[in-house]
Amino acid sequence: MQLTHHIDPNDVGPNGRAEKVSAGKLHAAQYIVALILIVLITGLWRLQVLGADNFRALAEANRIRKVPILAPRGRLFDREGRLLVDNYPSVSCYLLREQVKDLDADLPLISQGLHIPIEQIQSTLRRYQIAPKYQPIPLKQDISPDEQAFIAAHRDELPELETLDEQRRLYPRDGFAAHLIGYVGEVSEQMLDDPRYAFYSPGDVVGRSGVEQTYDALLRGKDGSRDVIVNSHGKELGHLGQELAVPGKDLKLTIDLDLQIAAEKALDGKNGAIVAMDPHTGEILAMVSRPTYDPNQFSVRLTKNYWNEIINNPDHPLLNKSLQAQLAPGSTFKIIMSVAGLQENVAQTMHVSCNGGAEFYGHFYACDKHHGAVDINNAIPYSCDTFYYTLANRLGIDTIAKYATSVGLGQRTGIDLPDEVAGTMPSTAWKLKTQHDKWFAGETISVGIGQGAVTATPMQLARALSGIASGGVFRRPHVVFADEVPSDMQQAIQESFPGSGNATIPLSTENWQLITDAMANVTSSPIGTAYAAHLEGVDFAGKTGTAQVIGHDALAKTNKGHNTEPNAWFVGMAPRRNPDIVVAVLWEHGNWGNNSAKLASQIIDAYVNKQRKRDNNIRIATTPEPAKPTTPTSEAPTVPSAE
């Protein structure tokens, strides 16, 4: 009997032999499959539940772009509401790095279409290298219509280029009031490191000088934005919403456009500064510095050629000489000397005989004329150096410094403009601190006529002499009305711009009247040094000053060129007591102080005529043309002194 065995085909392996899967292998396979399923389920849970918000935001970013809406900067007006600084519509080009993978390949086309050297584009990219990739890079400002058309025509090829509408600054032509108004420019890397600019980003426009800098927080406004739907090429497909920009605050300045025009005209073609101020309030009515610059050049991208032109100019166009020219005040300082001498009861009884100078400590100090008998009443209109040499010697440097400091010399005025300088008022303590040496009595003699170590700015002299003419009441100069600025910002500005500010010093009525009457004689009496600048029917007072820029010995060894001529000063006011306007003039190398007095008379005349027309008096006064510096001769001038 033959036995047969039945074989299940499922038990036959690839070699024809019957095999059987063990239970252990089967369980292992089941565990692996289960583990894989757990991992997949966990990953899906993390993506769809835990990371839902994050990935939803990323998805939105892929189709929604936030386009900034730049706030227009606040406009600037004069005290009567006349427009000084406006804005104009402009288009700028920005680079979106998220929209391109190989930017280097597009640079030649971008360079050609936007008329920018490739090296400049690469430099801009390096500057923003560490900035977040989503941040647009400003590539070119104020692009032309042709450049706008180029960007639109190459939207598919160059999706990284985007345009943005902006409002740009439009300043007056020819640098009109440029040093007072200032200019705007792109925030620098150094500024971004300053905590004051913590809320600014690269590419932001910020005030860089003048009113634009001091009141930037008010003027700049608050930017808005709009959400737009874009495709993969960056093309806008629709709008989702927007947050409107808040325009910057308009500001009314204290300057009077008519007086500013008169001051600009008076200083045209000259180097120096003019300041006109209301002594009752400290409001600046006009401010001019020459030479000037064009702030419109700074409002877009400053060219290297223009920057080199102004930075290499030996007359320093960027310097606001009203606040930053630290120069010997010359004989304008004699008014402060007169205050010190009278208040100390020294000048009242002092009489000198001026024979062209006097000798002190073995050295002869010259006077420009033989004035004969001089006392305090005629010393100011004569501007007799011999009298003030003698007065300085009797008072001593520390007494002089005490009174000069009390009227604001040697310290900032606190005007609400950046970069004001303090000047210098020497004393024994000052010399010991700065030069580690003692003060010598002979040094005091030159200080008595506003020479030597004493220096001042036109703004300081305007405040000092107007305060004296106001009976000892001094006001902090300012260029923006207080009610234009929130109270907390007013306090912050005063703290940011410390100075002599508002002050009152004791000044006896008798001394006050004597000094102001003598200052009136400077312009109204034939013996006065500024008689040629007098205004008929106007109570116009002041003091001339002629300050040497080089010593007599050094001058004798030079060719006596224009730059060796003295600086011409004048500080005048109307009326003589409690004046409504004070004007300080610095004419660099203008020779004699009476030349500057003629410039000041133009501003005073413009002011008086304007007031008269407001009072329905239509008299139109003739404004004298500015005189040119004259070369002194051996013949005596028509007035006792040409200072």
- pLDDT score for 231: 61
* Residue 636 confidence class, pLDDT cut points 50, 70, 90: very low
**Residue 24 falls inside a structural domain:** no
User: Looking at 252, 275, 310, which one is the last position of a domain?
Assistant: 252
* Residue 52 confidence class, pLDDT cut points 50, 70, 90: low
* Same domain, residue pair 222 and 354: no
Provide DSSP, 176-244.
TTHHHH--EEEPPHHHHTSGGGTT--TT-EEE-SHHHHHTHHHHS-B-EEEEEEE-TT--EEEEEEEE-
* Same domain, residue pair 490 and 411: yes
Number of domains composing the chain? 2
- Answer yes or no: is pLDDT of 623 > 70: no
For the chain, state the CA radius of gyration: 37
* Residue 433 confidence class, pLDDT cut points 50, 70, 90: very high
Domain range for 503 is 257-302+319-615
Higher pLDDT, 602 or 557: 602
* Same domain, residue pair 237 and 360: no
Separation between Cα atoms, residue 14 and residue 261, nearest integer Å: 108
Q: Is the peptide bond before 291 cis (omega within 30 degrees of 0)?
A: yes
Strands 137-140 and 83-95: antiparallel
* Same domain, residue pair 163 and 294: no
How many residues comprise the chain?
A: 643
Which of 191-200, 370-379, 396-405, 452-461 bottoms out in mean pLDDT, i.e. has the lowest? Answer: 191-200
* Residue 562 confidence class, pLDDT cut points 50, 70, 90: low
- Closest C-alpha to 274, from 540, 549, 602, 521: 602
Q: Using one digit for the tens of pLDDT, what is the confidence trace for 255-298?
A: 999 999 999 999 999 999 999 999 999 999 999 999 999 998 88
* Same domain, residue pair 498 and 573: yes
- CATH code where residue 173 lies: 3.90.1310.10
Mean of the pLDDT values across residues 180-207?
80
Q: What is the mean pLDDT of the chain?
A: 85
- pLDDT score for 632: 33
- pLDDT score for 65: 67
Which of 360-369, 433-442, 488-497, 616-625 bottoms out in mean pLDDT, i.e. has the lowest? Answer: 616-625
- pLDDT score for 343: 97
How many of the other CB atoms lie within 10 Å of CB of 185? 21
**Residue 312 falls inside a structural domain:** no
Percent with pLDDT over 90 in the chain: 56
* Residue 637 confidence class, pLDDT cut points 50, 70, 90: very low
* Same domain, residue pair 234 and 282: no
DSSP 12: B
- The token pair at 487 is 């109270």
Which of 156-170, 238-252, 508-522, 617-631 bottoms out in mean pLDDT, i.e. has the lowest? Answer: 617-631
- CATH code where residue 277 lies: 3.40.710.10
Determine contact, residues 348/376, Cβ cutoff 8 Å: yes
**Residue 535 falls inside a structural domain:** yes
Determine contact, residues 44/51, Cβ cutoff 8 Å: no
- pLDDT score for 360: 95
* Same domain, residue pair 268 and 165: no
Which of 312-321, 491-500, 609-618 bottoms out in mean pLDDT, i.e. has the lowest? Answer: 609-618
- Answer yes or no: is pLDDT of 56 > 90: no
Q: Which residues pair with 207 in a beta bridge?
A: 184
* Same domain, residue pair 141 and 268: no
**Residue 25 falls inside a structural domain:** no
Separation between Cα atoms, residue 598 and residue 119, nearest integer Å: 53
Q: Using one digit for the tens of pLDDT, what is the confidence trace for 439-450?
A: 999 999 999 999
* Same domain, residue pair 274 and 242: no
- pLDDT score for 419: 95
Percent with pLDDT over 70 in the chain: 84
- Answer yes or no: is pLDDT of 82 > 80: yes
